[in-house]
Amino acid sequence: MKKPIYVAALSLLALFSGCSHRTPAESDLFNTSAEIEASKLPFNPLHWKVIISGIDPQRQTMSTLYGNDLAVQSARAGHDVYPDGSVLSLVTWTQREDPHWFGARIPGKVKSVEFVTVGKDSSKSAYKRFEGPDLAPATLSDTEAASARRDSILGKRASVMP
């Protein structure tokens, strides 16, 4: 009679000793390396909605174009020109291996954050770029390069969403 009690007790002990509750570290749950220190920027684009995203395998980067509500509404409506008051932000990250999914790539450190603020005339839209680990303001001495970046960002259209 004592043998079944010992077996049951050992079974319960084995069952409960195999269960342990370990709280995962924050770095296991969140990709903190991809965070943006918004205090250095005029806006926090991560609080906005996504317009489009993409990857550049050659440069090993990934980018997301965010927009304020006005920009997102315009982009999703399919308009060719963003209205006055729209603000767009193109955030570019380096890629890194995903530790949780074999073969996947996820955002690493922020490489650059670009802003375009649309004025009444889209050719008068303001362009600002912040880059590097400290997101320092970048000065593009070549106005043609700044205009080309501005026009490139303004030319991006929304992803088709169901």
CA separation (Å) from 158 to 50, 61, 66, 119, 161? 8, 20, 10, 20, 8
Mean pLDDT, residues 11-34: 64
Query: What fold is seen in the domain 35-154?
Result: Chalcone isomerase (3.50.70)
Segments making up each domain of the chain, as ranges: 35-154
Percent of the chain's residues with pLDDT above 90: 44
Mean pLDDT, residues 30-53: 88
- The alpha-helical segments, DSSP class H, found in the chain are 2-17, 26-29, 69-77, 143-154
Mean pLDDT, residues 115-137: 86
- pLDDT bin (cut points 50, 70, 90) of residue 27 is low
Q: Mind listing the pLDDT tens digit for each residue in 59-110?
A: 999 999 999 999 999 999 988 899 999 999 999 999 998 888 888 888 999 9
CB atoms within 10 A of CB 91: 23
Cβ atoms of residues 149 and 129 within 8 Å: yes
The pLDDT of residue 42: 92
CA separation (Å) from 93 to 13, 79, 88? 49, 28, 16
- pLDDT bin (cut points 50, 70, 90) of residue 9 is low
Phi, psi (deg, nearest 5) at residue 43: -140, 160
Nearest by Cα to 92 from 108, 74, 110: 110
- pLDDT bin (cut points 50, 70, 90) of residue 120 is confident
Q: Which two tokens stand for residue 131?
A: 């880059």
Nearest by Cα to 127 from 136, 70, 118: 118
